[in-house]
Amino acid sequence: MAEDKVRRFITIAFAETEGIKLQRRDKREPDREWKEIAQKRIQSIVRRRFKRQKAAILGWVQRQAVYTKAPIPPDDLFEDEEWDIEDEAAMMHIILWEMSKGAERFSSSIGMTFDTSGINVRAAKFARTYLTKWLADLDRTSREIVRNALALFVETPGMTIGDLVKMLPFNEERALRIAVTETTRIYAKGQMIAAQELKEQYPDVRIIKTWFTDNDDKVCEICGPLHGMTIDVDEPFYDIEDDLYQDGNPPAHVNCRCWIETSTDIRGTR
Ligand SMILES: [Zn+2]
């Protein structure tokens, strides 16, 4: 896509979302506009999933209300094989695409050539594991919030369906938050996967990475202190909680827009 075409897409895409604060990613961020496209697409997938789940819940509540206010919806209200197939395919496409952008960024940043043909295999392997878990975790969180909201709805006299809707976890803010966080993660993962590939081919080459906070995260107590920190590419910037999500690279928290830059360590020292 040509640069001005990308810019036009972004302008239109960001103008579309009404009612929430629209925030561009940091100007200094590498591949900012590509990331914004990925972010926008993830947001649409999540939004579509939310819309379907919300409709399923409300339909169920209305059917229940005729007889009795039963608080626990059946689990399969959230599950639909067709949605899963559709959402997984769409997400897979974005993940692989964005990871390849991260990998390209890594390759151009280190100033040496290496065989990049193994990167795609690594990326596909990561994407499959990630995607299955991510979708399940997304639904699990939603399900818990829905259950609590329904319990409250049943226990509280006078609570309307309108009040219930406000408590459901299917709002635009959440979709955006998820899209921001996952965009940050997938790009960094692409960089790290390329780094692993290079390390395997050239174990003696020392690669370092530096953390950059965006303007918002400058004052964030998690990311603020990480800004400008440079460490070995294999080291984590913070304590690893979970290989898949909190792997020691950005994002350090939900809504984190931080990024890393990699280079070969020409000083050759640690
Ligand atoms: Zn951050």
Q: Quick one: tokens of 56?
A: 């399923």
φ, ψ for residue 4 (rounded to 5)?
Answer: -70, -30
Domain assignment present for 217: no
Compute the distance from residue 76 Cα to the ligand 1 centre, in Å: 35
Distance 186 CA to ligand 1 centre (A): 14
In a domain, 99, yes or no: yes
Query: Residue 106 C-alpha to ligand 1 middle, in angstroms?
Result: 19
Tell me the CA–centroid distance for residue 30 and ligand 1, in Å: 15
How many structural domains does the chain have?
Answer: 1
Residue 241 lies in a domain: no
Question: Three-class SS of residue 212?
Answer: strand
State in Å: Cα 212 to ligand 1 middle. Answer: 8
Q: How far is the CA of 183 from the centre of ligand 1 (A)?
A: 12
Taking the centre of ligand 1 as the mean of its atom positions, its distance from the CA of residue 71, in whole angstroms, is 38
Note whether residue 238 is domain-resident.
no
Q: Is residue 188 part of a domain?
A: yes
> In the prediction, which pLDDT does 197 show?
96
pLDDT at position 4 is 63
Query: How far is the centre of ligand 1, averaged over its atoms, from the C-alpha of 12 (Å)?
Result: 27
Query: DSSP of 75-93, one letter per residue?
Result: GGGS--HHHHHHHHHHHHH
pLDDT attached to residue 269: 46
15 CA to centre of ligand 1 in angstroms: 25
Q: Which two tokens stand for residue 261?
A: 């830059």
pTM of the predicted protein model: 0.88
Whether the CA torsion 225, 231, 233, 239 is positive or negative: it is: negative
Strand partners, 235: none
Q: Which amino acid is at 10?
A: I
Q: What pLDDT does 19 receive?
A: 47
Tens digit of each residue's pLDDT (9 = 90 or more) over 188-211: 999 999 999 999 999 999 999 999
Whether omega for the bond prior to residue 74 falls within 30 degrees of 0, making it cis, is no
Q: How close is the Cα of 112 to the center of ligand 1, in Å?
A: 29
Q: Is residue 246 part of a domain?
A: no
d(CA 22, CA 17): 8
Q: What are the structure tokens assigned to 192, written together?
A: 């790290």
Q: Which residues of 223-251 are buried (b: 16+ CB within 10 A; e: fewer)?
A: beebeeeebebeeebbeeeeeeebbbbbb
CA of 54 to the centre of ligand 1 (A): 30
* Domain annotation covers residue 208: no
pLDDT, residue 24, reads 87
Distance CA 174, CA 194 (A): 31
Strands (E), 79-217: 207-212
Q: What is the pLDDT of residue 265?
A: 84
| Domain limits for position 176 | 3-13+28-203
Residues of the chain with pLDDT under 50: 1, 10, 12-13, 15-19, 269-270
> What would the two tokens of residue 259 be?
């990024």
Instruction: Match 């939310």 to its residue by tokens.
Output: 50
- Is 53 inside a domain boundary? yes
Question: Cis bond leading into 251, ω under 30°?
Answer: yes
Q: Euclidean distance between the first and final Cα of the chain, in Å? A: 40
Q: Give the DSSP H/E element, type plus range, for residue 145.
A: helix 119-155
